[in-house]
Amino acid sequence: MPAAGIPGIGDPVPDFALPNQYGETVRSEDLAGAPAVLVFYPFAFSRVCSGELEVLAGLQPEFSAAGARLLAVSCDAKYSLRAWAAERGWGFDLLSDFWPHGAAAKAFGVFEESRGMAGRSSFIAGADGLITRILRSGPDEPRRAGDYLQALSALSAGERN
């Protein structure tokens, strides 16, 4: 059972309002009516994060087929995220949890205070806004693409784990 205030399976996605790499505000309520995949990662331009988000960019057709919106969240400034997305050619939103520093990561229970970064965790939510799956890995360990595909398949089948 998750600690008080930290969302778990079956809980609603915590409220957030974060700018994307273009400065457009994305809110939790914007996700209503469609599945969403919120991917928290430590730092833009880092080796593991770059590789992991590149894999997710390659899975965009699968996310689109499931009707799921992909949102990647870090504590980096939106300007860094814009440069990173432009360099890599990514077409999904990179959300900046820069200020107040780590507020969304804290709401999701994944902020690592001692390092000032989001931990490597993903939250998959159904169209009803409830969390159906949580994927976690260590700071230097990417999450597996197959786990995302399995979660998308379960959403399509209406399953909950």
Place of tokens 């880092």: 46
| Encoded tokens for 116 | 């000032």
User: How does DSSP classify residue 141?
Assistant: S
Catalytic residue, candidates 31, 36, 49, 71: 49
What one-character-per-residue DSSP string does 73-116 give?
EESS-HHHHHHHHHHHT--SEEEE-TTTTTHHHHHTT-EETTTT
For this structure, is 49 an active site residue?
A: yes
Instruction: Give the H or E element holding residue 124.
Output: strand 121-125
- Distance, CA of 26 to CA of 61 (rounded, Å): 22
Place of tokens 């998308």: 152
Catalytically active residues, by annotation: 49
